[in-house]
Every structure is written in structure tokens, then in C-alpha cells.
Structure 1
Amino acid sequence: MLVVELCLAAPILAIINASIRLYAASRRTDALVRLIDGSLLVDTVLLRGNVLDCESEMARQIERITSGQMPGLGRLIYGSHAKLTKRIRGKQTVHALTWLGCPMHVEISMHALENGLQQLRVRTVRSGGLAWFVAAPLDAIAQMQYMDSNLVQPLVNLLERRTAQRQREALHNQTIEAQLRILQAQIEPHFLFNTLANLRQLYRTSAVDGESMLDHLIAYLRSAMENLRAEYSSVVQEMDLAMHYLAIMQIRMGSRLAYRFVVPDALLKHPLPPAMLISLVENAVKHGIAESSEGVITLSVARIGAALHVSIADNGPGISSVGGTGLGLSNIRQRLEAIYGSSACLEVGSPVEGGFTGTIIIPFEEGVVHADRIAG
């Protein structure tokens, strides 16, 4: 008798359940649509980030849910972990999560909006058949709460962190770029003002030498103006600037200054940050051989392992006479760190034979790199 009563009760309960749903549908404008397409609960969330990021992270979070490593659904009569299936609906990929024995499943999709945001849509759907009668609202609510805790909130938080990180990186890059321009701009007038002061002084003593110095200054400016404010220069361009500067200083100092360049042809077009080499050369003249009776400055470039070494050596009194925290050396260190990070540095020291050497060390790049961005 009990079995018969239960068999009779089940259809009656189903009819009552269906009647309640039909009445609810008549009271809400969107409920009838949901009744027709099978939706029980629908949640939409706006996400910040590009389409690929949002879709890939959504797929990764869904895989975590179905991997068995996440907490289960927690409904006693259904399977704990969902099975994943995918299908294409229009232009969207719909991810469906189905729990064993559960008359509802969850559908997840991503939709790109015109304002650049992405819309995540999560809905519980009746699975068909008798599910229209036996789907329980409490189970649908439990599914949505489960998806909110294990998919929606982790995805929102991750994308917000990633967007914030990218904004910080963009701001950091802008700050570095501004810093490089400021540091570089500090070096340019530092050299030019000194040269003009020397030129004015020389014209008072020798018009011929003054004219020669002016020629070198014009050649320097002609060479420098195209790339002093550029992001990239080359070894040969920076050597050309250094040569004109040293020629100017040799006119002024006479036999007290000699210079030589040791640079393999294969390294002439290697990229080199602008205005660094001239700063080292100027430092060597001012601090290394200014008081010497026979000063010699040697500029050399060499590849050592995976690095390019650009060195300026003088035969002056050594490191004790050089201000290692002055404008020139300090600027070089800051600019190298900003451009290359920890993979570049400025080494200074006094060799055993005496004098002072400053060496710019940057990563070596195979081939003639950045040639299209080098002026000239």
C-alpha cells in the first residue's frame, strides 16, 4: 500500500511543482522566456581585459572545477564533481557542467561587448525530460553559489589583478622613458656648454685654432643632432661624436693629449645607447689627463662572451682623481639600469699599469641589429 501511495504522490507533486512554475512565469516578464528556454537562474558579470585573456582564464578556471581538486557541489543526491562538455552556439563557445544524477546543468559563455568589456554569462538549465518537473530551485541556487565561489569571483579577481599589473607596467615604462629623456638631456648641454666656453677662450689666443675647433664643433653637431635624443645609436656614431670632441680638446691641449681607437669593423654597427660614450670620454679628459703632460686616451670596443665591452682608458693618476658619483658616471649607471636592468653595468677601476678605465658592459646582440632604427 505504501508503494502505491508513493507512486500516486509523485505525479501529484510534479503537477503542483509545474503549476507553481507556471504561476511564477505569469507574474514576471522574463520568467516565461526562461521557462521556454529552460533557464532557472541566470547571472551576468562584466569583466575587464581583452577577449583572449578572459576566455583563456575562464577555460582554465572551468578545468580546475572539473579536475576533482576543487570542493564538490555538496548536494547529497548528486555527484560531487561535474563533467565538462563544449558546444558552439552562434559565435560563442558554451561550456556545460553536468553533475551525475542532477536534473539541472550549468552553462557558461563569454560575450564581447562594444565598450571593450567582456560579459560572463552563467545560467542553470533544466536538462530535459522529467527535469522540467523535478528540477528543484534550492539545487539551482546551490549550483549558482558554487559557480560564484569557484568560477566567477576567482576569475574577476584574477583579471582585475592582471589589468592592474599591466597598468602599473605601462606607468613604469612611461616613467623610465621620461627618466631616460631627462638624464640624456642633462648630458647634452653639459658637453655643449663646456665646448662653447672652450671655443670662446681659444678664439682669444688663436683664430686659426679657433676656426679648426669650430669646424669640429659643427661636424659634431651635424652628427649629433640626428641621434642625441634617439632611443638607439651605434658604436660608429658614438665614436664619431667622441672623435670630434677629442679633436676639439686636442686643439686646446696641444701635445698634452693624444688618442686612439681600437674597434673591430664587425662591431661598428652594434647598437649603443646615445650620449654614454661621450660622457666617459669627457670624464677621462677632465679628471684623467687634465693635469698630465702626455695624456693618452684609448677607446676600445670588444665582444667578451655574451657581452659588448666599450672602454675608455687614460694614463692619468688613477681612480683616486675620478669622481665616481659625478653627473656623467651617475647618469650612465642610471640609464644602463633603466634600459637593460641587471644585464648591463658600468665598471670603473685602475689597471695595474696605472691610469683609469671606465667600461660600459651591455648584452651583445648577434648580427647587425636595429640597423633600421640607427640614423645615418
Structure 2
Amino acid sequence: MIILLPIMIERVGILVLFAFLLSRVSLFRGMIQKEREYDFQEKMLLMFIFGVFGIISNYTGVAIEKGNIMSHSWQTNLEESTAIANTRIMGVAIGGLLGGPAVGFGVGLIAGLHRFTLGGFTSIACGISTIIAGLLTGLIGRKYRFFQNPPFKTVFICICMELLQMAIILLLAKPFDSAFGLVSVITVPMVIINGFGILVFIYLIQSILSEEEQTKAAQTEVALDIAQSTLPYFRLGLTPESSRHAAQIIIAATSAEAVAITNRTMVLTHIGIGSDHHIPLEKTETELTRHVLASGKIVTAITKKEIHCSHLECPLQAAIVLPLKANQKIVGTLKLYFTNSKNMGIVEYKLAEGLSKLFSMQLELAEAENQQKLLKDAEIKALQAQIHPHFLFNSMNTIAALIRTDRDKARRMVHQLSAFFRSNLQGSKNMYIPLKQELEHVDAFLALEKARFPDKFSLHCSIDSSLHNVLVPPFVLQPLIENTLRHAFSATKKGDIYLTGYRQHDFLVLMVEDNGKGMSEELLLMLGNKTVHSEKGTGTALWNISKRIKELYGRKAIFLLESEPNRGTKITIRLPIREIRQWGNEDVESISSGR
């Protein structure tokens, strides 16, 4: 018995080494970390792994005959009077506890049948006991997560399985005297060694889980630090400026060698390697980005070819591209680039995945705050429009002058001024108004402007009367006309304004076009997307209209700004058609009041 103990320790060392190597395999580590039940393929893989474990235990067993150690070598065909002492139960018990009844039975069957083929007078008893041990540990493992509990409970289960095997040997092995002699020699060494082996295996598994928890904790800490640092910027929305600041924070806190952020149409920022040809405010050209925008799924590239960069000498060789979402819509992408695909491991992938979720949450909060701000801004702008001091004073002065020279015209101006402010008041209370009402607002405004500047502009209106009942947001046309008069024309040259409206399938298309000064491409990229700082204006009207229709109609709405210097500007708005006759009176009242 004492002589057998060091030999068994040597044998269990082989299996412990095998277990250690197994614990380094990412596939096995991933299976250990699963919290759900294993699928069929995973169960088959566990059967194979621990079945091989059992077979190795059989081959490395120690041959025993009449209480004497016969052979230390690799065991193949045993004499009829010979048995073996081994660590087979250890692998069978772990397989059952880890994978459940099906895996335990499968591992026990593999190891048990193999033990039967080796021969010896205990072959039948050992084969049967191995199958029973696998099934029992599997049933225990269904409700008992052994690697999440104190290891000594599992060691106790393994010892019980070993004692059960000894009992079955005594019951089935013949002759009984040989069986009793064998059990008296091998019981204590096998109980000690199998218990020790399974204890080591449990600690290996628990170390895997501990490493995973530590990695997750470190990733979470980094992700939260990045999220906290980027929050002030992403709360401003997905803009070139906010994206640039966020990308600088991300590249400093991660192993990525370049970071890019895009919206649905263009690259907002690119920080790091490759910034010489990955230019912000250019269109998103890579197929990788387009695929993520279309699918909403994370995509990785491990070769330069998969990145699809058109620059032949681009040093970027690998990338993780993640979707950025807000209100269940994909609004852009976050891209982490690497010069070597080996630098892009599972840690970087998980961190990027966490950042994508956190940034999406931040953008969603920014959208909610922005929408609330837009509603407040719309109310404030409406109130300002009701009592616009300069417009009111200028109109009143013009009326005062006309009273002396043309009383009828002065009277008409008073009516137009009244109609203008009445329209402002109604628009400030409603979320939607008929297009006819918005056109009346435009007519009242232009009549007042025409009285003040009779030779400054001409309006050419072409809108089918059948569209007058279509519901549109208030202040969607008048601010555009006012913008045109204020910025498009010089003081000496008379300009033309073209207001066009038509039906395009189920959409209303409205266009405001002029033949004025136009604007630069740089200014054109910004207007309608954000406010700008300028002596001539801030672009608030265009930005407000663009944001309002996007909030009301989502992707179905289009706000398109086109312009060329010295050739004029064209603004196109496309909205889904909603007509008054499509709604009952109660529904129209609800829409108008914003309920």
C-alpha cells in the first residue's frame, strides 16, 4: 500500500499536466465560463475530452497481482489474475459534474468499455462501476455547480465514487479472495490520489473563472472610465467635435492604434495611425463600415484586404467595427484599428463591445435631451416670433409712413401684420397644421416685406391646391423664406424665390430655391446639422427645422441643402403625407395639440 502511493502520485501528475494544458485552451475555457446549459456539440466535445482523460488513466495504471506491483509500464493486455490501480474515476467524475447526466454517462461508457478491453479479473466490475459513477456524478452535476462551491464537497463526491467502485469489485470480481486482497491494497492510495487529483483540477477551473472575473472587472473599470470621460462630449450628440474628443480619450485608454467614429454618411473623426488619408468629413467608403451600418452587428477584420482601405500603403491591418445606436436606430459606427491582428485579442473585442453599448446609451440620452431642448427651443422661437421687436417696429414704421401717402395700402398692411402674428400664435400651439395655413403665414410675411422693399425680390409659387390639406409641422416654410431674404440677395440686385410643392408617391416634396449668393461647401456641410457662429447669422432656423422633422418623421423625412457660390441655394424637404381627411376630428385635435 505504501509503495503504491508514490507511484500513483507519479501517474496523477501526468493527468494534472494534461488538465493544466487543457485549462489553457481557449475553447475549453469558454465552455467552463458558460452559465447556460451546454448544447449538443459542446456535450459531445466534453465527452471526448474526459473520455480521453479516462483512457489515459487506464493506460497509465499500475498492474497489481495478488497484492504485488507487477508493472509500471503502459498497460495494454492484462493477465486474467491481474488488476490495475488508476485515476480513471477522477476524469469520469469531473466530466459528469461539469456536463450533466448525458456527458457523465458518455464519459463513463467510453472509459468503462476501454477498461473492459484491457482484461484482468476486475474488468467487468471496473467497467460497470465506471459507467455508474459517470451517471451518478452527472445527475449530481445537474443541480450542483461544483466549481462554484467549496472544493472539498467535490472531493467527497469523488471519494464516494471511488468507494462505490471498491464495493462493486468486491461484489462482482471473482475469486472473492483476490478481489478482497486487491481492495485492501489499492483503496487508500486510490482514494487519496483521486481526491488530490480532483482537488487540483477544481483549483485549475476556479483559476480560469477567477482570471475571467478579474479580466471583466478590469475591462469594466476601463470602460467606465472611458464612458465617464466621453460623456460630456457624446451628450452634445454625434458631431465632428464631440467625436474627435471622444476618439482621443479612447485611443489613450486602449491598445488601439487608431480610432475612428462615423455617422451614417461620413467619417466624423479619425485619430492615430492612418490619419494622413482617413480624412474626417469624407464619405464612409469602406465596405466594412457599410456592412455594420446595414446589419447592426459587430464586425472584425484581421487582414488589410478585409478593411477595404483604398490607400495602397495604409498601415492598418486589423479592425473592430461596432454599431452606435440611439432609439433602436443605428446612427453611426465606432472603429478600433490595429497594425497587427495579433494585437486584437478577445480582451480588446470585449472592451470594444462594452464601449459600443455605453456610447449608444450616451447617444440615446443625448437624443432625449436634445429632443426636449428642441421642443423648448421651438416654444421660445415661437414666442420670439410672436413679438419680434425689429420686425414689428419696422412694419409699424412702414404703416405709419403709408398712412400719410396711401391709406388703403396701410390698411392692407395692418391686416397682413395681424394675420402674420395670428398665424404665429396658432403655430406655436400645434404640432401639425395644414399646408394651406403655413402658406398663408408665408403670404402674410412676404406682403409685409414687399411693402418695405418693393424691388428686392419676386416670389414664384407653384403648389397644387390639392395638397393644401396635407399636415406639416408649423414654421417649416416661413423661416426658410425669411432666411433667403436676409442672406441670399444683395442690397442692389433683385432676386427670385421659387416655392414649389408636389406629391411624389406617398410623400410631399417642398422646395425653396433662390438665385442669390449661394454659400461655400464648408458652410454647406455644417448648416442644417448644427448651429454656426457668424456675423450674418447662426443657422439656427435651418438646424431647428432639420431636427424637428427628423424627430417627427424619423428616416422617412429628408432635409436636403444644395448650394453653389453665386448661383443660389435650394432647400428640399420631403415628408410622408398626412392629410386631414385621413384623421377624425378628435385625431386632428390630438395631433394639433401635440398629445
User: What is the TM-score of this pair, normalised by structure 1?
Assistant: 0.53
1:349 aligns with 2:563: yes
Whether the 8 Å contact between 1:307 and 1:361 is mirrored in structure 2 is: no
Residue 591 of structure 2 corresponds to which residue in structure 1? 373
1:202-217 map, 5 Å: 202-207=398-403, 208=407, 209-217=409-417
2:542 aligned residue (307, 327, 332): 332
Separation of aligned partners in 1, 2:496 and 2:511: 14
Question: Retained in 1: the 8 A contact 2:100–2:141?
Answer: no
Aligned residue number for residue 176 of structure 1:
370
**Secondary structure in structure 1 of the residue aligned to 2:42:** coil
| Contact residue 262 and residue 299 of structure 1 kept, 8 A | yes
The letter of the residue matching 1:196 is: L
Deviation of 1:281 after TM superposition, in Å, equals 0.6
Looking at structure 2, the residues matched to 70 and 233 of structure 1 have their Cα atoms a distance apart, in angstroms, of 66
Which structure 1 segments of 5+ residues have no match? 3-59, 86-95, 110-121
Deviations 1:119-160 (A, max 9, x none): xxx879x99xx8894497777777777677789997997897
Q: Secondary structure in 1 aligned to 2:570? A: strand
Q: Which amino acid aligns with 1:189?
A: Q
Alignment of 1:170-319 (within 5 A): 170-181=364-375, 184=378, 185=380, 189=384, 192-207=388-403, 208=407, 209-228=409-428, 235-254=435-454, 258-265=458-465, 267-268=467-468, 270=470, 272-288=472-488, 291=491, 296-303=496-503, 308-314=508-514, 317-319=516-518
1:278 & 1:153 partners in 2: Cα distance?
58
Contact 1:311 1:360 (8 Å CA) reproduced: yes
C-alpha contact 1:234 1:271 (8 A) present in aligned 2: yes
Distance 1:98 1:234 in 2: 73
2:36 alignment partner in structure 1:
62
Higher relative contact order (CA 8 A, sep 6+): 1
C-alpha contact 2:399 2:413 (8 A) present in aligned 1:
no
For each residue in 1:75-128, what CA deviation from the matched residue of structure 2 results, as whole angstroms up to 9, or x when unmatched? Answer: 64144996689xxxxxxxxxx99785344325599xxxxxxxxxxxx879x99x
CA distance in structure 2 between the aligned counterparts of 1:231 and 1:240, rounded to whole angstroms: 17
SS in 2 for 1:202: helix
Aligned to 1:360: 572
Same amino acid, percent of matched pairs? 15
Alignment match, 1:29: none
Whichever residue aligns with residue 373 of structure 1, its letter is: I
Which blocks of at least 5 consecutive residues in structure 2 are unaligned? 2-33, 54-90, 108-133, 162-194, 221-349, 525-533
Measured against aligned partners, the alpha-carbon deviations of 1:261-292 in whole angstroms (never above 9, x if no partner) come to 32235544555454342221112333446746
The verdict on how the C-alpha distance between 1:186 and 1:62 changes in structure 2, with shifts beyond 3 A counting, is same
Task: For residue 297 of structure 1, give the secondary structure of its aligned residue in structure 2.
Answer: strand
State whether residues 38 and 99 of structure 2, in contact with CA within 8 Å, keep that contact through their aligned partners in structure 1. Answer: no
Change in CA separation of 1:230 and 1:145 when aligned onto 2, cut-off 3 Å = farther
CA distance, structure 2, for counterparts of residue 283 and residue 225 of structure 1: 20
Partner-residue secondary structure (3-state), 2:499: strand
Letter in 2 for 1:204: A
Q: Is the 8 A contact 2:559 2:573 kept in 1?
A: yes
Distance 1:168 1:349, change over 3 A: closer
Distance 2:369 2:410 in 1: 42
Alpha-carbon distance between aligned partners in 2 of 1:320 and 1:375, rounded to the nearest angstrom? 37
2:99–2:141 contact (8 Å) kept in structure 1: no
Q: Whole-Å Cα distance in 2 between the matches of residues 106 and 336 of structure 1?
A: 58
- Alpha carbons 1:302, 1:309 under 8 Å: kept: yes
Instruction: Determine which structure has the larger helix proportion and give its number.
Output: 2
Helix, strand or coil at the partner of 1:168:
helix
Distance in structure 2 (CA, Å) of the matches to 1:268 and 1:260? 17
> What TM-score does the superposition give when structure 2 sets the normalisation length?
0.37
Q: Root-mean-square deviation (CA), in Å?
A: 5.6
The amino acid of 1:365's aligned partner reads P
State the alpha-carbon separation in 1 of the partners of residues 383 and 200 from structure 2: 73
After superposition, the Cα gap between the structure-2 partners of 1:123 and 1:212, relative to the gap in structure 1 and judged at 3 Å, is farther
320 and 143 in structure 1: CA distance in 2 versus 1, 3 angstrom threshold: closer
Q: 1:161: how far off?
A: 6.4
- Does the aligned pair in 2 maintain the 1:303–1:309 contact within 8 Å? yes
CA–CA distance in structure 1, aligned partners of residues 591 and 98 of structure 2? 55
Give the deviation of 1:205 after TM superposition: 0.4
Partners of 1:163 and 1:180 in 2: CA distance: 25
292 and 374 in structure 1: CA distance in 2 versus 1, 3 angstrom threshold: farther
**Matched residue of 1:327: which SS?**
coil
Moved more, 148-157 or 237-246: 148-157
Q: Answer whether contact 2:495 2:516 (CA < 8 A) is retained.
A: no
Rounded to whole Å, the distance in 2 between the matches of 1:98 and 1:224 is 78
- Taking the aligned partners of 2:420 and 2:37, their CA distance within structure 1 comes to 63
Aligned partners of 2:398 and 2:452 also within 8 Å? yes
3-state SS, counterpart of residue 361 of structure 1:
strand
Q: Larger % of strand: which?
A: 1
Give the number of equivalent residue pairs.
292
Q: Which residue of 1 aligns with 2:27?
A: none
Residue 254 of structure 1 and its aligned partner are, at CA, apart by 4.3
Residue equivalent to 1:22: none
Q: Distance in 1 between matches of 2:499 and 2:159?
A: 85
